[in-house]
Amino acid sequence: MTSSAAIDALDVTSATSATSATSATGATGVTGARRGERRWARAGALLGALALAGALGGCGGCPREACGAARPAALPAAPPLPPPSRPPLEVRGGEHLAGLHPALERRARLLYERAEEEGVQLRFISGYRPYQLKAGGRRAGRGGAAGAVASWHNFGLAFDVNLQGRAGLGDALKHLREDEARWARVGALAADLGLTWGKQWGQEEIFHFEWHPGQPDAIRAPTLNALKASAEGGDLRAGYRGAWRALQSREGAGDRAEEVSR
């Protein structure tokens, strides 16, 4: 029953109670009045229960909508990202973009261009890396949240960058305090593009960025099994693009479908 229907029924009940109370006399009149009071008390309790049910999302008995439940407005769709202005081969380290999810490749190139507009020059140093296991069942390689059994690099959903002019990761970490402001700006630009920055897991992951909407940061066994089930032929190497179907994003769906079909 909807809240409006319940109130209508209570109006009828209260009107009947009032009529009985005013028409009766003597003890009968007192009894009728008390019955009316009890009915009003029950009505108040029912109204309170309906209000509480509405606040908690509905009583569960309504076939279509919760009783009095406020429906949150749908979030507006995010505006599409503009296309990058440079082809990958004109980007320093652009060869590492091959094999990335098309939507992530777009974000990576936009990060590169936006950082350069602010005077921060980047160089891509890693992208897709095939999945492999070490002896004992541990994953090979690094990059990503602690406790993971695989990296989002293994699914074309992560990349690493370094500041142009730094010889390698060791050199970048050595000059981290000096370069802190530039790295902070890169991290802010990445956040604007919906990327997860690895700095939250330690300074040795400052180079790492990933994008996997609807999936956890750390790929633990249950997530890895689900991704493997989505991979083409269950092959986490040759069929890794099939795991892109598990992402909760429709961006680049046409590109993704084309990549998965290859």
Q: What gap in Å lies between CA 24 and CA 168, rounded to an integer?
A: 96
Cα–Cα separations (whole angstroms), residue 233 to 124, 228, 241, 248: 30, 9, 11, 21
Side-chain-side CA neighbours of 113 within 13 Å: the count stands at 15
Per-residue tokens: 79: 């505006």
Q: Are 93 and 111 in contact (CB under 8 A)?
A: no
Q: In the chain, where are the structural domains located? A: 3-55, 88-260
pLDDT at 143: 53
Beta-carbon contacts of residue 157 (< 8 Å; ≥ 6 apart): 100, 101, 104, 210, 211, 212, 244
Amino acid letter for position 144: G
Amino acid letter for position 136: G
Per-residue tokens: 82: 């503009």
Q: Are 237 and 150 in contact (CB under 8 A)?
A: no
Per-residue pLDDT of the chain (262 residues; tens, 9 = 90+): 444 444 344 333 443 344 344 344 444 443 444 444 445 445 444 444 444 344 334 444 444 444 444 444 444 556 688 889 888 778 999 999 999 999 999 999 999 999 999 999 999 999 999 998 754 444 444 455 667 899 999 999 999 999 999 999 999 999 999 999 999 999 999 999 999 999 999 999 999 999 999 999 999 999 999 999 999 999 999 999 999 998 976 565 444 443 443 3
The topology (CATH level 3) of 88-260 is Muramoyl-pentapeptide Carboxypeptidase; domain 2 (3.30.1380)
φ/ψ of 151, rounded to 5, equals -115, 150
pLDDT at 250: 56
Q: What gap in Å lies between CA 88 and CA 205, rounded to an integer?
A: 24
Sign of CA dihedral 94, 98, 101, 106: positive
Amino acid letter for position 257: A
b/e map of 186-200 (b: 16 or more CB within 10 Å)?
A: bbebbeebebbbbbe
Nearest-5° angle of CA 168, CA 171, CA 177?
130
Q: What gap in Å lies between CA 170 and CA 119, rounded to an integer?
A: 23
